[in-house]
Structures are given as structure tokens and as C-alpha cells.
Amino acid sequence: MLRIIDARTGEQAEAAPARRGLTRVEAHASGFGASGLRVLLAADTLVRALELGGTPVWALLTGDREQAELRAGAEALGIRPFEDSRDVGAALGEAQVVHVVGEGSDGPCDGVRIAVAPVDATVPVAPAADQDPAAWRLALLAHRRDRPVRLDANALDEARRTLARWRRSVADWAQRPSRPVPDEVRGRLRGAWEDDLDVPEVLRVLEWAGTRPDLPDGARFETYAYADRLLGLDLTRDLGRTP
């Protein structure tokens, strides 16, 4: 069960209700910018984690400022679309509500609140059309959401190197016979993201799985493909490409 530290109370709360009832996830971005996009990325990751656990999710974007710019930036980062809260009617009988807000921002008093720390960006806040959006995602996902992030050229270069290494490995592993994700590996991955959505720990588990000597290559491939359903880094992109 996915557990989240509620920013209002400082206590753990379940992000998914009992019996897999509907969870409404509301992203509250104050405007377009690196910090606003990080709020949407955190909400996107939360939605992915809930869906991996079998929880139906209703994802909404609230706010009135720079909505078109926010949505365009989110699309550039591979963030799946959110419904516009102004265009929806009455609640759908959801059993849980989670608000994803910028650190220090006010938000509704109902449900669980997730606070996202700001981003100090010295590079464009979203990739250009000819750039790999996964580098921006990984540079932000590599840090806990409650800690400030500096998004600069060095962070992007490191993310690009990691992505290139992982994608080469995944493409190579895909040529071996497939093997299921070992229970221990799956347990460590799920244990990481279900513990307050600890995505940096998910990345560390991937590094561990990628170098564990007793893990068959086919199992490594399935492990990375499985984790990418949460991460959205397009790790299988280079399958079948000529080196």
C-alpha cells in the first residue's frame, strides 16, 4: 500500500483508499516554471504509482495562471495530461483526495497534501523539440521531492550519461531469453515507491539490479521495463537499433 507523509500533519497517510476506491490527485501549480513543472512531475509519478497498485485515479490540474504554458511544458517532459478542474462537474465519489502543491503554498484542507520543494533552474525549464525529455525527468526524479533541486547543465549531462548507459544495457539484455522480475527485486522496487514515493531509492535499486552478478540478463531487462512504468524514462527506446 502506497504511504505518503502528509505535509499538513507530518504523519503517514495512505494515498490509496481501502478496496481500491477512486483516488483524486490534484496538482496545484502556481504558474509556469521549473518549480511548477516539478509539481506536475510529482503528481504524474504519484498517478503512475497508484495505477501500478491497481488504484483507479482521477488526475486534475488546478489554477488559473499560465495554464497553456504549463500544459505544453508538461507534455514536453512526458507528463501525461491532467483534466482541467474548471471543466469537471461534481465529484465522482472518490474515497481519497491527494493534493500536490509547491512547498509553502496554501492548498485545500481536505485529503492528503504532498509538498514539492522548489527548483533553481539555470537551463530552460523544458527541453527543446530536438532534445531528450527524459534527461529533464531524470535530473528532477533523482532527488526527493521535498528537497530543493538545482537544474543546471551539469545535472542534465549526468542524467544524459545515465540514460545512455541504461538504454544500451536494456537493448543488450533484450537480446537474451526473457526471465521474470525476481520477487526480491520487485519487492525492493515496490517497497521504495510505496514508502513515501521514494523515487531516488527506486533508481538505486535499478543500479543494484543492473550489476547484481546472479541476475540473468533477461530478468534485468524485465526489471528495467517494469520500473519504467513508474519513471517514464523511455528506457526501452533503443531496442532493435543498430549500434
Tens of pLDDT, residues 33-43: 999 999 999 99
Which ranges in the chain are annotated with CATH 1.20.120?
A: 158-231
- What is the structure's pLDDT at 162? 98
pLDDT: is 212 or 65 the higher one?
Answer: 212
Residue tagged 525549464 (cell numbers): 125
Using DSSP, state whether 119 is helix, strand or coil: strand
> 142: pLDDT confidence band, cut at 50, 70 and 90?
very high
Dihedral over alpha carbons 28, 8, 140, 235 (to 10 degrees): -90
Give 193-233 pLDDT, tens digit per residue. 999 999 999 999 999 999 999 999 999 999 999 999 999 99
Domain 158-231, architecture per CATH: Up-down Bundle (1.20)
**C-alpha cell belonging to residue 211:** 550489476
Portions of the chain given CATH number 3.40.50.620: 3-152
> If you classify domain 3-152 with CATH, what class do you get?
alpha beta
Residue 8, all three cell numbers: 499538513
Give which of 128, 148, 143 is closest to 73, Cα–Cα. 128
Per-residue confidence (pLDDT) for residue 108, from 0 to 100: 76
> Can you tell me the mean pLDDT for 132-151?
96
Q: Are 137 and 73 in contact (CB under 8 A)?
A: no
pTM reported for the whole predicted model: 0.93
- Across the chain, mean pLDDT equals 91
- Least confident range from 15-24, 36-45, 99-108, 205-214: namely 15-24
Look up cell 537551463; give the residue: 123
Q: Which amino acid is at 192?
A: A
Quickly count: other Cβ atoms within 10 Å of residue 86's Cβ.
Answer: 11
pLDDT at res. 57: 93
Hey, which bits of 15-105 come out as E strands? 23-28, 57-62, 83-84, 96-102
